[in-house]
Amino acid sequence: MPHRYRRTDRVEELLRQEIARLIREEVKDPRVGFATIMHVDVSPDLSHARVLVSVMGDEREKAATVDALRRASGFLRARVGDDVSLKRMPELHFELDRSLERAARIDEIIDRTREEEGGGEPPPGGA
Protein backbone atom coordinates (compact mmCIF):
# COMPACT_ATOMS: atom_id res chain seq x y z
CA MET A 1 0.00 0.00 0.00
CA PRO A 2 1.53 3.37 -0.99
CA HIS A 3 2.34 5.84 1.73
CA ARG A 4 0.01 8.84 1.65
CA TYR A 5 1.19 12.22 2.85
CA ARG A 6 -1.17 14.72 4.32
CA ARG A 7 -0.81 18.21 2.98
CA THR A 8 -0.01 19.49 6.46
CA ASP A 9 2.91 17.04 6.71
CA ARG A 10 4.45 18.53 3.58
CA VAL A 11 3.79 22.09 4.78
CA GLU A 12 5.33 21.32 8.19
CA GLU A 13 8.54 19.96 6.68
CA LEU A 14 8.77 22.81 4.19
CA LEU A 15 8.34 25.38 6.96
CA ARG A 16 10.87 23.60 9.18
CA GLN A 17 13.51 23.67 6.47
CA GLU A 18 12.83 27.26 5.44
CA ILE A 19 12.73 28.65 9.00
CA ALA A 20 15.99 26.83 9.80
CA ARG A 21 17.63 28.31 6.71
CA LEU A 22 16.46 31.82 7.53
CA ILE A 23 17.64 31.58 11.11
CA ARG A 24 21.03 30.36 9.93
CA GLU A 25 21.43 32.92 7.13
CA GLU A 26 19.40 36.02 7.94
CA VAL A 27 18.58 36.39 11.64
CA LYS A 28 21.36 38.51 13.13
CA ASP A 29 20.40 38.27 16.82
CA PRO A 30 23.31 36.49 18.57
CA ARG A 31 20.91 34.82 21.03
CA VAL A 32 19.61 32.68 18.15
CA GLY A 33 22.99 31.25 17.19
CA PHE A 34 22.57 27.76 18.62
CA ALA A 35 18.87 27.19 17.92
CA THR A 36 17.84 24.09 16.02
CA ILE A 37 14.35 23.78 14.57
CA MET A 38 13.24 20.31 15.62
CA HIS A 39 9.66 20.20 14.38
CA VAL A 40 6.86 22.36 13.06
CA ASP A 41 3.29 21.46 13.92
CA VAL A 42 0.72 23.20 11.71
CA SER A 43 -2.96 23.55 12.62
CA PRO A 44 -5.42 21.81 10.26
CA ASP A 45 -6.55 25.14 8.78
CA LEU A 46 -2.88 26.21 8.30
CA SER A 47 -3.43 29.41 10.29
CA HIS A 48 -0.94 28.63 13.08
CA ALA A 49 2.39 26.83 13.25
CA ARG A 50 3.98 25.74 16.51
CA VAL A 51 7.75 25.74 15.97
CA LEU A 52 9.65 23.52 18.41
CA VAL A 53 13.21 24.68 19.00
CA SER A 54 16.12 22.93 20.68
CA VAL A 55 18.74 25.21 22.24
CA MET A 56 22.09 24.50 23.86
CA GLY A 57 22.77 26.28 27.13
CA ASP A 58 21.25 26.87 30.54
CA GLU A 59 17.61 27.78 31.19
CA ARG A 60 18.31 31.51 30.96
CA GLU A 61 19.98 31.14 27.57
CA LYS A 62 17.20 28.90 26.31
CA ALA A 63 14.54 31.42 27.39
CA ALA A 64 16.48 34.26 25.76
CA THR A 65 16.72 32.34 22.48
CA VAL A 66 13.02 31.53 22.38
CA ASP A 67 12.25 35.19 23.22
CA ALA A 68 14.48 36.35 20.36
CA LEU A 69 12.75 33.97 17.95
CA ARG A 70 9.33 35.16 19.10
CA ARG A 71 10.42 38.74 18.47
CA ALA A 72 11.65 37.75 15.01
CA SER A 73 8.50 35.79 14.15
CA GLY A 74 7.00 38.58 12.05
CA PHE A 75 10.19 38.92 10.02
CA LEU A 76 10.47 35.14 9.64
CA ARG A 77 6.82 34.79 8.66
CA ALA A 78 7.17 37.46 5.99
CA ARG A 79 10.42 35.99 4.60
CA VAL A 80 9.05 32.46 4.56
CA GLY A 81 5.95 33.81 2.84
CA ASP A 82 8.18 35.35 0.15
CA ASP A 83 9.95 32.05 -0.50
CA VAL A 84 7.12 29.53 -0.06
CA SER A 85 3.96 29.55 -2.13
CA LEU A 86 1.10 29.04 0.30
CA LYS A 87 -2.29 30.68 0.05
CA ARG A 88 -2.15 31.36 3.75
CA MET A 89 1.07 31.78 5.69
CA PRO A 90 0.58 30.53 9.27
CA GLU A 91 1.44 32.61 12.31
CA LEU A 92 4.63 31.27 13.88
CA HIS A 93 4.64 30.38 17.58
CA PHE A 94 8.07 29.42 18.93
CA GLU A 95 8.37 27.01 21.87
CA LEU A 96 11.25 25.24 23.54
CA ASP A 97 11.41 21.54 22.61
CA ARG A 98 11.89 19.58 25.81
CA SER A 99 11.56 16.10 24.28
CA LEU A 100 15.30 15.32 24.57
CA GLU A 101 15.30 16.35 28.23
CA ARG A 102 12.25 14.16 28.90
CA ALA A 103 13.88 11.22 27.12
CA ALA A 104 17.04 11.60 29.20
CA ARG A 105 14.94 11.73 32.37
CA ILE A 106 13.09 8.55 31.37
CA ASP A 107 16.43 6.81 30.73
CA GLU A 108 17.59 7.86 34.22
CA ILE A 109 14.44 6.45 35.80
CA ILE A 110 14.79 3.16 33.91
CA ASP A 111 18.45 2.83 34.88
CA ARG A 112 17.71 3.62 38.55
CA THR A 113 14.84 1.10 38.59
CA ARG A 114 17.10 -1.60 37.14
CA GLU A 115 19.72 -0.91 39.79
CA GLU A 116 17.14 -0.95 42.60
CA GLU A 117 15.71 -4.25 41.34
CA GLY A 118 19.20 -5.74 41.16
CA GLY A 119 19.17 -5.99 37.39
CA GLY A 120 22.46 -4.18 37.02
CA GLU A 121 23.55 -3.83 33.44
CA PRO A 122 20.96 -4.03 30.65
CA PRO A 123 21.12 -7.18 28.49
CA PRO A 124 23.21 -6.99 25.30
CA GLY A 125 21.33 -5.52 22.38
CA GLY A 126 19.11 -3.12 24.32
CA ALA A 127 16.63 -2.87 27.14
Please give the domain boundaries of the chain with CATH numbers for all domains. 7-116 (3.30.300.20)
**Residue 1 pLDDT level (bands cut at 50, 70, 90):** very low
Q: Say how many C-beta atoms besides its own lie within 10 A of residue 66's C-beta.
A: 20
Sign of CA dihedral 109, 110, 115, 118: positive
Answer yes or no: is pLDDT of 105 > 80.
no
Answer yes or no: is pLDDT of 111 > 90.
no
pTM equals: 0.72
Answer yes or no: is pLDDT of 120 > 60.
no
Q: Which of 17-26, 27-36, 42-51, 109-118 has the lowest average pLDDT? A: 109-118
Nearest Cα to Cα of residue 70 among 50, 42, 43: 50
pLDDT tens, 39-94? 999 998 889 999 999 988 888 999 999 999 999 999 999 999 887 877 888 999 99
